[in-house]
Amino acid sequence: MIPHDLLTKYDLPAPEAALAIEDAISGILSRAFNKDIMVNVGEELEVVALDDRRIDPATLSRQLKRQIRYQIERELEKRQSLREQDYLRSLRGQIIFGDVRKVSTNGDLTIALEVEDRFRSLILTGICPARQVPPHERGCLHIGAKKLFLITSVLPVMEKDKAKVLIRLSRTSKTLPEILLREKAGEPSIRCRRRIAGAFSEIETSQRISKESIQSVSDELGERIIVRVVASQKEV
């Protein structure tokens, strides 16, 4: 009754997995028997109707068992998606490498992303709308191309009755050159004041930035990086 292969697949904490299994089995059996049925996952699976009649799981039909397995996977999937969403929400505003997997007829990009979640890697799907792709890259990014993207939002979605996490991405945001330069130069004062994606980005900083850092970001984005050193507010 308890599909151990699914427990391994979704790798949830034991208490959370037990709740998912209990909810799934209770929901299916309550509808099948038209009465409220409580389920407890312990050393043995306990199934009890509210009229105190115990139900032996071994006597359930194959069809009910198939329905139960299907629902257990949906519940485990939903809970893992919510956990991933909580974790991925912290990545909003960060930059990540992605592989172009699909280009739609309207220019939207489907991106495969790999992020580290504690002790494992998550392969997730990101969408970069055509309007978030710089004009000079539209129609030029082929399947398999690797690019840096800014994570702009993390959304829970249902796709074919499956819970998933959708990450929305951008390559036109002025935050992208700002963060890239901060990472390259190690300078927190960097701000992007203006950007026309594919043409130029105007950067202000209180400290000089190496030409190598500037050129690296320029090459990645395919645009000029104009840097102006200004006095910090503390110095004014």
Query: What are the pLDDT digits (tens) for 69-86?
Result: 888 888 888 787 777 667
Residue 23: strand pairing partners:
none
Task: Report which DSSP code applies to 54.
Answer: B
Tokens 């709740």 found at: 19
The pLDDT-based confidence of 135 (bands split at 50, 70, 90) is very high
Share of the chain above pLDDT 70, in %: 88
- Closest by Cα among 91, 97, 100 to 155: 91
Question: Whole-structure pTM over 0.85, yes or no?
Answer: no
Q: Is the pLDDT of residue 119 over 70?
A: no
The pLDDT-based confidence of 236 (bands split at 50, 70, 90) is very low
Q: Is the pLDDT of residue 161 over 70?
A: no
Q: Lowest mean pLDDT of 77-81, 134-138, 149-153, 163-167, name the range.
A: 163-167
Give mean pLDDT, residues 119-144: 86
Can you tell me whether residue 25 is helix, strand or coil?
A: helix
Give mean pLDDT, residues 120-128: 78
- Closest by Cα among 166, 168, 105, 103 to 132: 168
Most confident stretch, 93-97, 185-189, 218-222: 218-222
DSSP secondary structure, 213-230, as one string: HHHHHHHHHTSEEEEEE-
Q: Is the pLDDT of residue 162 over 70?
A: no
